[in-house]
Each structure stands twice: as structure tokens, then as C-alpha cells.
Structure 1
Amino acid sequence: MIDNDVTVVVATRNRAGRLMETMPMHEGPVILVDNASDDGTPDLIEAAFPQVRVVRLEDNRGAAARNAGVELAATEFVAFADDDSYWTAGSLRKAAGLLRDFPRTGLLCAQVLVGPEQFLDPISAEMARAPLGVPDDAPGPAVLGFLSCAAVVRRSAFLQAGGFNPTLHVYGEEALLAMDMAAAGWLLSYTPELTVRHLPEPAGRDPRARRRRQARNDLLTAMLRRPPRVVARTAARAWRHDRGAVTDAARLLPWALRRRHPLPTRVERDLCTLTSR
């Protein structure tokens, strides 16, 4: 059964082959936001799936490309998917029902099954342990992070929090958005009754570059929202593993300081609970 109350937003770049496999699996309206592909992806998808709305960006915005899809969505709820993932049948319908039943909830994170073997993603297993407990007015364990390909958001909550930060681009971009949604008073919940299939390609992108960008973004996120002691600890960890990440973040220090907004005490306390385990 297709649920037209949830728009699926997919951000992509030069992944036409994988999209041809996953696009037919999506239920409901789909918006594909293309990050300036140069392999003909937009034309191929428009020809193969005329029901899909294709948005062509002139530059590669990384994760922030999803913001354009959310802004264009005409539904109350939006689900994110990567070009190598899809929501299983019925999950979006369930998600819409949960978000209606729990009006303080701004984001649901599904369980993620990886590969053809359908292994449970370790992040999903950690969320299921519920270190922050299960609030009475939430549909599942409280979380302060999520996997972008496994999140359904209340569109108004996402826009209120400002969406994905363009400067972070990709890798670790979810952390800042999760903090800002929680700071705005929204609940974020892990809901294993919703399922996402993730089918990553065996040969992924440059792992060293990914680690450096992830470390840079972790440090920038700390600069933007966390106490000085956490910033120092995050910088020290990044310096031990990749000094280039610290250099990259240092170049953006003026940008971060202009946008720095420390988190409410309750959100910082929950983050400390997660990192102390």
C-alpha cells in the first residue's frame, strides 16, 4: 500500500546504476536531488521513472542537497534515502501513523539491515539498547543521532532546525541536526518496527578522505554546540588520528565562532550520558 503522506527525498551524485535498482522500491512520491552529476544521472532517471521529480543542482551540496527536497515536498512528513537504500514495504505508512500519534516527535530512525544478508547495522543495535530511556510521549527509545538513510522527519521540525548544514557537506552531518532538533524541543526516537535496506557497494569511496572529513565535522560540530572541554577532547582525538582534520577545522574557526550556540543543559546532559558509556 502506497502512503502519499510521506515524500521520499533521495540525494545523489553519479550513481545512476544503483538508482536504477533502488528507485522502483520507493513507496509514495519521490524527489531526487542531483548533486551536479556529470554521468547523465538526471536524464536517465527522468526517462526511466517519469513519476519522480528530479531536481538538478548546479553544484555539489553534499548532504545539504536534501534540504532542497524537503523544501519542495508537499507532504507533512519526509523520509530520506540514499541511492543505495530503500524503505521496506509498509514502513512509511507506519512512520506517518507514529508521527501523528506522537506529536512531540520530530524524527524517527528505523532499523537498518545491511547487504543481501540483512545484517543489523551496529548503530541500530546500539540504539536498541536505549541508553537514554524511552520517554512516555515517544514511540521508542530516545536518540541524539541518526542515520540519514533511515530517518523520517516531520517536515516542520526539520525546517525549524535549519536542515543539514551545507558547510559540513558529507559524513557526520546528522549529529548537528539531531542536536538542533532536540534543542528546539523535538523528540527523536529509534523505531525498529520501521526497516530500511542498505545495499552498499563493495568498493566504496576513498576511506582515508572519509575519515578525515568525518573527524573535521566532528570537531566543527563540537565548536558549534559543545562546551570547551568537549571541543578540546574532540580536537585531541582528531589530532591523534589525522592532524589534517584539525587543520581543516581550524580554517573554519571564525565561521564556527560566529554560529556558536551552546546546547540547553538537558541536551548536553544526554550527550554526556551517551559518550560516557
Structure 2
Amino acid sequence: MQKLRNLLSIVILTFNRASELRSTLQQLFSLPETPDIVIVDNASTDDTAEMVSREFPQATLIRLRQNIGAAARNFGVRAVQTRYVAFCDDDSWWAAGSLERAVDILDGHPRVAAICARILLGTDNREDPICRILAESPLPSDGLPGRSLLGFIACATVVRREPYLAAGGYEQKFFVGGEEELLSLDLVSNGWRVVYIPEMTVHHHPSPQRDNPGRQIIVIRNALWVSWLRLPLRNALRETLRTCRSAKNRRILFKALGNAAKELPWVFRRRKVLAPETLALYRLLRH
């Protein structure tokens, strides 16, 4: 257990969900392994800060002045000194034994930068449908401890701290919604690997607010940005058309296209095509 504390910390992202955060912290502090926990509060206006200070003084609380979405996790990662970081949201927590397993895998596979766990949803612990997609990844996995991936789920991932920071962490412009893809592509393009380990488990009780139209706009916008930021022009055009065709709501699509287009100067300044090996993996997933 002491080994775990020395090697891994937990970073929790939260915003205006004091009640859900309380439940998550109760679950995490009941684990037999008790790593340090850092909570990054995205400028909540409820009683989140007071609740944490009163009920969980052993946790570290970082309060941001504005809500910057997923990029708030970067503050938590910079604040810890451990080699590995496990992420949670305020509505998710790690099952007993999973973090020890993560440390063993990362210790034994020095080119793995991120591990995505199996996700169980709600009180009935049904498996998230994304898990089957991850488990059936067609990417070459020789020599890796699990299926090779080009993406992960933020609230169910353990990362190696240094590669995460070297890749820039989460991009603030992406806010929340499909923000993981750019980071995972950059990790792999930098020579690292991302894997799925179903023996590790995260419990997730997602809020219904996640499916609101505003979030759907962000998800589409971010998918467009990933294509424009990292793919050769022909592939970027193909993925743009694919994203547009898959959108079920034309009104939401047009808003997403408009929002994405407003940042084209930033896109072209930050554009960096993936390394050839990573691009080959990306094309394998898309065909």
C-alpha cells in the first residue's frame, strides 16, 4: 500500500456537484489503498469547497477562478509529484485493487503512457458500451499488456505524469466533450502507447446533464478540430464529411461548424500532423 502512495495520486475534476463529489470521496477514501487525492474545483458556486474542507480535510483542494473544463485536470497533475496519476470525475471512482494493478502495469511496461479501465454504469453496474469497442480495438498490441488504443475515457484513465505534461495535457479550448482524443493522439505520436485493461474497473454514475445540446455542440466541434489540427488535408476533409454525416441534428451541427470555424486562425497556428506511424494506426481504425 505504501508503494502505491509513493507512486500514484488521484486527481478529481468537479463543478457544482457537491453531493456527487461527497459520494465519490467516500468511495475513494474507503479503498484499502489510499493514495493522495487532489480535487480541482472548476469555479463552483455551490458549497463544494466548504464540504471538502469540512468533511475531507485530508484531500487537497485547488479552486480555480473560472471554469476551464477538462484543462483543469492539468492543474492537478502539476500539483502532484507522483510518477502516475489516476483521474476521476465527481461522479466516478476506482474499484478496489484497480490502482495497484495500474501501478504494476506501468512499472512493467515503460512505454505505456495511459491505461483505460473498464467502466460500470449506475447502481446496476452495467458495462458501458464503449468497453466493447475498446476491447475489440484492431490496433497491433504485440508486447503490450492490453489492447492498443488511440483514445481513452478521461474519468477512467491512469496516466504517466511526465508524458502527459510533455504532450501539453488537455487543451483548454476543447472544454468538456471528446477532449481526450487530441491528447491520446499526441501521446502516441510522441512514441508512447495507450492500452485498455478490463481487469481495472471504474464505477461511473453519469449526470443526465451530460447529454444537453450544448455538450453535443462541443463534442462535434472538438471532433472537427482534432481532424484539422492533426490530419493531412485529405484525411481532414474526409473526417469532416464523416462527422457532418453522422450528426443527427442539423441545427446542432451548424452551430458546431460555426463555432469550429471561428477558431481557424488558432487551428492553423497549432496544426501539427501526426507522426507517420500514428497516422497509419489512425487510418486502420477508420477503415
TM-score, reference length from structure 2: 0.92
Q: Is the 8 A contact 1:239 1:245 kept in 2?
A: no
> Among residues 96, 115, 126, which one is paired with 1:119 in the alignment?
126
The answer as to 2:19 corresponding to 1:17 is: yes
Amino acid at match of 1:15: R
Correspondence list, 1:1-277, <5 A:
1=1, 3-4=4-5, 5-26=7-28, 27-136=34-143, 138-201=144-207, 203-205=208-210, 207-240=212-245, 241=247, 242-276=253-287
Deviation, 1:235, is 2.9
Q: Is the 8 A contact 1:7 1:79 kept in 2?
A: yes
Aligned to 2:250: none
Residue-by-residue CA offset, 1:184-208 (whole Å, 9 max, x unaligned):
100111111111011123x324521
How many positions carry a matched residue from both structures? 274
Deviation, 1:215, is 0.4
Aligned CA-pair RMSD: 1.3
Deviation, 1:125, is 1.0
Q: How far apart, in 2, do the equivalents of 1:205 and 1:192 lie?
A: 24
Q: Is the 8 A contact 1:112 1:121 kept in 2?
A: yes
Q: Is the 8 A contact 1:42 1:54 kept in 2?
A: yes
Q: Is the 8 A contact 1:238 1:245 kept in 2?
A: no
Residue-by-residue CA offset, 1:125-173 (whole Å, 9 max, x unaligned):
111113113221x211100000001110010110111100011111011
Amino acid at match of 1:59: Q
Change (3 A) 1:94 1:206: closer
Change (3 A) 1:227 1:61: same
Q: Could you say what secondary structure the match of 2:93 adopts?
A: strand
Amino acid at match of 1:104: R
Deviation, 1:237, is 4.1
Amino acid at match of 2:227: A
Amino acid at match of 1:54: L
Q: Could you say what secondary structure the match of 1:188 adopts?
A: strand
Relative to its length, the structure with more helix (as a share) is 2
Deviation, 1:270, is 0.7
Gaps of 5+ in 1: none
Q: How far apart, in 2, do the equivalents of 1:37 and 1:142 lie?
A: 36
Q: How far apart, in 2, do the equivalents of 1:246 and 1:230 lie?
A: 17
Deviation, 1:124, is 1.2
Amino acid at match of 2:214: A
Q: Is the 8 A contact 1:235 1:246 kept in 2?
A: no
